[in-house]
Structure 1
Amino acid sequence: MAHGKYLTYSGYLHLDELLSLQEEQSGEGGSPEHDEMLFIIIHQVYELWFKQLLHELEFACDRMGADDMPRLLHTMERILTILKVQVAQLDILETMRPLDFLAFRQRLEEASGLQSYQFRELEFILGHKRTDVFDRYPAGSDARRRLDSRYREPSLWAAFLRFLHGRGYAIPAEDLERDVTAPTEPSAGVRAALIRLYREDPQLVQLCERFVDLDEGLQEWRYRHVKMVERTIGARPGTGQTGGAAYLRKSLNRPVFPDLWAIRTDL
């Protein structure tokens, strides 16, 4: 806002700009399809929540570096609450019946949720790193630069292992020094440290359980997403000629923190 002018609610939130961003593609020569507005707004809201999750996950990594347990636990609770809201939003999207979506689906052309670079950033910060996702983003684009930067940063799990090491837990050197661009892999040495932690430190157990909650929430979101797609388009290919529900189903039951699940057999 210009100096000397009162800050207003509308100005602070850039409401005029925000509310002009829902551009329906259907309706040329007539009225737009009623459900397209819902489809646009839901996905725009998802992207805003993705932005906030990235913001909070970055802060969680920072708080681990500062050994600030109270703020770290509070941040994890906020992350989990946001994730619950994201799952609940699928209830709204499922009010759109198959024929309602098919009425404007062809207008999406090659656009697909798989092109969400913020979701790919979330996968990277959570340790699910791989290079094949870069193919969807042109070299030199802002999205490609963001993904490349995130790909080369330590994951939340890497920050957590350093945090445990700083608290005196014997995290193997090979796990602390792993290539930051490599995906998270199970580690017998990390599991041994976690078992000791679960037996000795109730406060750190509370943090570990928040990580498990996050992992479980992500799997719940993926499951609900698959069922929403099946409910809406059945076995059809997804938009942009993606694999639809069959493709999404491959990501089910894939933990991002495998060691926290594996130790439950040995506690």
Structure 2
Amino acid sequence: MVKIAVCGAAGRMGGRIISAISETEGAVVSGALERLGHPMVGQDAGFNAGLGAIGVTISDDLTAVVQGCDVLIDFTTPKVSLKNLEVCGLNKKSIVIGSTGFTPEERALAAELAKDIPVVLAPNMSVGVNVCFKVLADVAKILGDDFDVEIVEAHHKMKKDSPSGTAVRMGEVVAEALGRDYNKVANFHREGICGERTKDEIGMQTIRGGDIVGEHTVYFIGMGERIEITHRAHTRDMFSRGSVRAAKWVVSQKPGLYDMQDVLGLR
């Protein structure tokens, strides 16, 4: 039985993850973590998940929660995730990180900390999205430089980072397949007389509004034709189920930094 603790247990995503763990054979909720001073600290974690009492109290003691689990699932922010990763490393516990908005420097720090424990860090835990990553690489290699690439993503109005971590990863996958450096060719802003589109750039456009869970479309645009590859998320449940799948997988891996491509055997 894999003992899984959940960070951000009182949030919307935390509740869905706890629910997913309860529905997964071979997994059990062993701990629930929230920030110091959160009003739900001390309450049963099952209530936020719509499960009723499950006998796991929401705690603000990171070390105690980590020591009582095999793996911690974290959907918070990069700074919080890195702190949690460091504590997991000190206690030799695995961690699954679904936070988005990591800078290149923060990702490098995560890779350094992952030398001591197995870590899954992925901007999107959806099985479908990760299949899209694989398909995008294949399509980009086949089409080569003859097609322009544009990426458009849409999310709810409460999302804090832009573009989404998933859109960034899509851009990185395509750029790598085309032999380009994403950080040099990504174009996030066009306004006024901005000149003709360059051959190598990858456009990154963002939409925010309402309660959109997540939509991503990659356009491969040629002369007289285009290919559109789209993924639409209807609920957050696919992210929670994917994170639990990753948690069960990572506990038996060697130390290192992994992503959902590794979890799903797509490499």
For the superposition of Structure 1 and Structure 2, which TM-score range results when normalised by the shorter chain? Answer: under 0.3
> What TM-score comes out, normalization by structure 1 length?
0.26
More strand by share: 2
For the pair shown, the structure with the greater C-alpha radius of gyration is 1
More helix by share: 1
